[in-house]
Amino acid sequence: MKLVTFEMDGRMGSGALHPDGGIVDLTDLGGVLELLTNAEARMAAERRLADPAVKRLTQGLRLRAPLTPRAFICIGLNYMDHVKESSARVPARPVVFAKCPNALAGPDDVITWHADVTQQVDWEAELGVVIGQRCYRVAKAEALRYVGGYTCVNDLSARDIQLTDSAGQYTLGKTLDGFCPIGPCLVTADEIPDPQNLTIRCLVNDEVRQHSNTREMIFGVADLIAHLSRFMTLMPGDLIATGTPPGVGMGMKPPVWLRDGDRVAVEIEGIGALTNTCRVL
């Protein structure tokens, strides 16, 4: 299922994208996290989606972030060519940092920042993994069982804060308000049996800036879950942003940054496109 959170007539609802278009309302069965983790709600949702007579919502609704992650765990430098364009060393173990809940944004949200805070905002298309079951110290071979679903993430990054102002720490320049758009939907893990074979792209104003495949990750999704869960209990709703492929603005010569009015889209095969517009204040 492709689960969504939507806003309609001033209320928030949950639903699933119907293969023939429109959204099937699942609000009475629970929110997206519940649909992901509660087997009974999940089966009821699947039955409703399969009903040929089901009513589909097509108008007057707006997609929001598919869920509010419990934690925003991010992996840096996880594609070889991105390590090179960042002039960084190849990591022996995953590079881990975090974003905070203020960074959450959804599909079509306008992302704003103040010009006196940053002038170097960059895009980072990433596969987002949402944990579906509590896990601690799981083996790599078992790790994918704990995935609830997948979504697109744009790990927006203020490079001047990340690299210049803050002596190399990541988090502050990555967690400005709205700097973690996710969506447009959360695809349940059963629809993506192999997360290491997905085309991933980023387009700025319809121009392709990143184009890669998740098979190019240095540490795959199973490696990341096994590694993280050695140190911390992962819980349902935790988001892992798995790192970005090459083609970020920082790596261009000369560097290119997002500007007022730019439209930035993250596209992942089997998930969809997450589009946001930039507004500089």
Interface ranges with Mg ion (CB under 5 A): 124, 155, 244
Determine the residue with CB nearest Mg ion.
155
Q: Reduced to 3 states, what is the DSSP secondary structure of residue 63?
A: strand
Name which of 37 and 244 has its Cβ closer to Mg ion: 244
| Least distance (Å) between residue 86 CB and Mg ion | 10
Q: Distance between CA atoms of 97 and 188, rounded to whole angstroms?
A: 25
Report DSSP state, residue 217.
B
Kindly state the helix (H) or strand (E) to which residue 204 belongs, with its residue range. Answer: strand 199-204
Name which of 97 and 146 has its Cβ closer to Mg ion: 97
Name which of 17 and 278 has its Cβ closer to Mg ion: 278
| Least distance (Å) between residue 243 CB and Mg ion | 6
Please confirm whether the linkage preceding 184 is cis (ω < 30° from 0): yes
| Least distance (Å) between residue 216 CB and Mg ion | 14
Kindly state the helix (H) or strand (E) to which residue 36 belongs, with its residue range. Answer: helix 32-37
Buried b / exposed e across 75-95, counting CB within 10 Å, b at 16+? Answer: bbbbbeebbebbeeeebeebb
Q: Nearest Cα to 71, choosing from 105, 104, 39, 111?
A: 104
Name which of 124 and 267 has its Cβ closer to Mg ion: 124
| Least distance (Å) between residue 10 CB and Mg ion | 34
| Least distance (Å) between residue 239 CB and Mg ion | 12
- Give the angle subtended at the CA of 89 by the CAs of 83 and 94, to the nearest 5°: 75
Name which of 14 and 78 has its Cβ closer to Mg ion: 78
